[in-house]
Structure 1
Amino acid sequence: MESDPLDRFLLQGAKDTVPQLSQERYKGQAGRIGIIGGSLEYTGAAYYAAITTLKVGGDLAHVFCCKDAASAIKSYSPELIVHPVLDVPNSLELMIQWLPRLHVLVIGPGLGRDKLVLDSVANLIKYCREHHTTCAKPLVIDADGLFLITERPDIIQDYPHGAILTPNAIEFSRLAKAVLGETWLPTPHPKEEKVRNLATKLGSDITVLHKGATDIIAKGDSAAVLKCSTSGSNRRCGGQGDLLSGSLGIFYAWALMSPGSYPASVIAAYAGCRLTRECNSRAFGRKGRSMLTTDMIEEIHTVFEELFETH
């Protein structure tokens, strides 16, 4: 299914990071991911991201959400570990005690834009930035996490532990205005140099994944720009980006555990794009206009087997 040698190289790089199933392993070694999101209005987004990390092959998924979202998210799946802490006064204190147990944080799915919650997330990122030895957490930032970055770019500027930002066309244009002071009209076909310019400005360890007709991936310290345009469909429904961010979280954790010739964030971004686009294509083939993100989640096992299992 790969279209050129670089695609095959990146796909092989992703395969090489996938942990082998073994009776010698213990729970947690294949990835413990924290999802920072989930509000009263948007409970599904946090669920989609969290359940995707497990369906792809992670061991544990923690959801740090608002109090009013917790019961709904728990009811969606008993596999998720749910912490209703985002909108309480001592939220940072409650979250940081869990950070040493987590490999990657996915920030944004269903987060909402409540000021108290956004301040809590900003403080969490600041804490991770400053505590290098115990809480040096790589980040995936999506959805309203990107709104926070647009409002306060300094939060992620030169973040030292690695971060993947996943803007769509509208989110990208807002980030460009906030970070570069440039007005770019939203388009599903952005120029590659624009994606690279944003990544470069944000810092050497920041990777920007522009979601569109072709997904474009650029890391701040590299002149190279990668693209992923295989598969997919014309159907756009709520939750597809959450599936992507969840898959990025676990692929990022694996790539950091098994470093290769390409940066972990780039391998993770490419793997997440390939998986999501193929799940979209397969689900659309079955359901057409009726396709929902739940249909895409059902495709994860088959697609993962075909793309990433080495057997």
Structure 2
Amino acid sequence: MLVKLGVNSGFGAKSCIYMLASSAVLRRQQLVIRCLGVGGYSNHNINTNQKPMQGVGFSSGASLEADVENVLRAITPTLDPNRHKGQAGNIAVIGGCREYTGAPYFAAISALKIVSLINESISFSSQGADLSHVFCTRDAASVIKSYSPELIVHPILEESYSVRDEDKSFILEKVLGEVDKWMERFDCLVIGPGLGRDPFLLDCVSKIIKHARQSNVPIVIDGDGLFLITNCLDLVSGYHLAVLTPNVNEYKRLVQKVLSCEVNDEDAREQLLSLAKRIGGVTILRKGKADLISDGEIVESVSIYGSPRRCGGQGDILSGSVAVFLSWARQIVTDENLSISSRNPTMLGCIAGSTLMRKAASLAFENKKRSTLTTDIIECLGRSLQDICPVP
């Protein structure tokens, strides 16, 4: 269950209930608290077979589906016509090479598709992700640009075949210098979609990850970024603003590397909890029939919505979505002066991103059935968010 109040919440449970009606700000704070699995290990599963929650009382029989949608409502900002371009947030995707150009596009365009929708119960100083960047190799840049004019594409990455050994140090510094020009503007990085496994390219990305940590920029790692991380855990170990989004095979390799055992589906929650804790408090979103999420302190499960059609590219949509919601959730924590350690924005971002992705996939499947493609799911992102956070 996503609702858990504990001693770390900073509010007396009984007093908060009486205070809810007195202030819109307090109502919003209480909503955020309810959405965070604060206080320890959570065993609850979110599904579509439960009825909406009534009131603010919590019990073992309370609805869990309502909690998931409350996460989306709590962290989705309002539209504000007074805000200018870019003030709503910037997401950057690090990935894209000769062989793989679709994945970084899917992640970047998904971030743009998740537009801010009005929810009168909350008000934010930011509007959402309205700029999306892709840092890729030169070979991939023109292709990605042709997919969409909305993306800002930076053709700065290099693969080994195009760099002489004696020039690698110079090229590496040049790449880092270009990324450094933009780093402070980014609200989140998505690292790995379409990255490939070229050694020099991975070396460049390793340096970018280190720089993001120094700049305190959240990172979502997917695809070949997980291949890099699995072989160099120190890149994310202990970084609480890092999110890993492994699929079945990527999760298997992580478990074997970190826990020195095989995946145990019968004890999946405890194993995921141990894995996140062992890596150092990163948040792991294990993709599957039900998405399991843990930051090493609690475990949540999202199984609401979904589609039987498993077309390639859904993970890229998820990583882009999580990046947006993570940046919004982090802004909530900052604006409300709440403790990040007890109210983890990465958990909120994963829960919201997973829910929206699954709902969009279910809507796309209703329309296209077996012919559903990744692009069909992307087109359903706006409708999915509108259904949960409607604009009047």
Normalised to the residue count of structure 2, the TM-score between the two structures is 0.73
Once the two structures are TM-superposed, the CA of residue 310 in structure 1 deviates from its matched residue by: 6.8
Match of 1:148 in 2: 228
Unaligned runs of 5+ in 2: 1-47, 51-61, 116-128, 160-170
Is residue 242 of structure 1 aligned with residue 326 of structure 2?
no
Q: What is the alpha-carbon distance in structure 1 between the residues aligned to residue 191 and residue 114 of structure 2? A: 18
What secondary structure is seen at the aligned counterpart in 1 of 2:285? Answer: strand
Query: Hey, which bits of structure 1, 4+ residues long, moved more than 6 A?
Result: none
Is the 1:108–1:141 Cα contact (8 Å) retained in structure 2?
Answer: yes
Once the two structures are TM-superposed, the CA of residue 2 in structure 1 deviates from its matched residue by: 7.9
Match of 1:102 in 2: 186
Match of 1:219 in 2: 295
Q: What is the alpha-carbon distance in structure 1 between the residues aligned to residue 391 and residue 267 of structure 2? A: 34
Distance 1:56 1:208, change over 3 A: same
Match of 2:146 among 75, 79, 98: 75
Match of 1:208 among 267, 284, 298: 284
Match of 2:70 in 1: 12
Match of 2:375 in 1: 294
What secondary structure is seen at the aligned counterpart in 2 of 1:50? Answer: helix
Match of 1:48 in 2: 106
Identity of aligned residues (%): 45
Is the 1:157–1:202 Cα contact (8 Å) retained in structure 2?
Answer: yes
What secondary structure is seen at the aligned counterpart in 1 of 2:189? Answer: strand
What secondary structure is seen at the aligned counterpart in 1 of 2:220? Answer: strand
Match of 1:127 in 2: 211
What secondary structure is seen at the aligned counterpart in 1 of 2:157? Answer: coil
Larger radius of gyration: 2
Match of 1:195 in 2: 272
Q: What is the alpha-carbon distance in structure 1 between the residues aligned to residue 343 and residue 238 of structure 2? A: 20
User: Could you say what the CA RMSD is over the residues aligned between the two structures, in angstroms?
Assistant: 1.8
Is the 1:30–1:254 Cα contact (8 Å) retained in structure 2?
Answer: no
Q: What is the alpha-carbon distance in structure 2 between the residues aligned to residue 310 and residue 174 of structure 1? A: 43
Unaligned runs of 5+ in 1: none
Q: What is the alpha-carbon distance in structure 2 between the residues aligned to residue 30 and residue 254 of structure 1? A: 10
Paired residue type of 1:216? L
Once the two structures are TM-superposed, the CA of residue 190 in structure 1 deviates from its matched residue by: 6.4
Is the 1:19–1:30 Cα contact (8 Å) retained in structure 2?
Answer: no
Normalised to the residue count of structure 1, the TM-score between the two structures is 0.92
Q: What is the alpha-carbon distance in structure 2 between the residues aligned to residue 296 and residue 22 of structure 1? A: 27
Q: Deviations over 1:216-269 (max 9, x none)?
A: 01012x1x2110111112111111100000001111111111127842111110
Distance 1:61 1:190, change over 3 A: farther
Q: What is the alpha-carbon distance in structure 2 between the residues aligned to residue 190 and residue 274 of structure 1? A: 23
Is residue 22 of structure 1 aligned with residue 80 of structure 2?
yes
What secondary structure is seen at the aligned counterpart in 1 of 2:195? Answer: coil
Is the 2:269–2:292 Cα contact (8 Å) retained in structure 1?
Answer: yes
Once the two structures are TM-superposed, the CA of residue 214 in structure 1 deviates from its matched residue by: 0.5
Paired residue type of 1:142? D
The aligned length equals 301
Distance 1:2 1:140, change over 3 A: farther
Is residue 139 of structure 1 aligned with residue 219 of structure 2?
yes
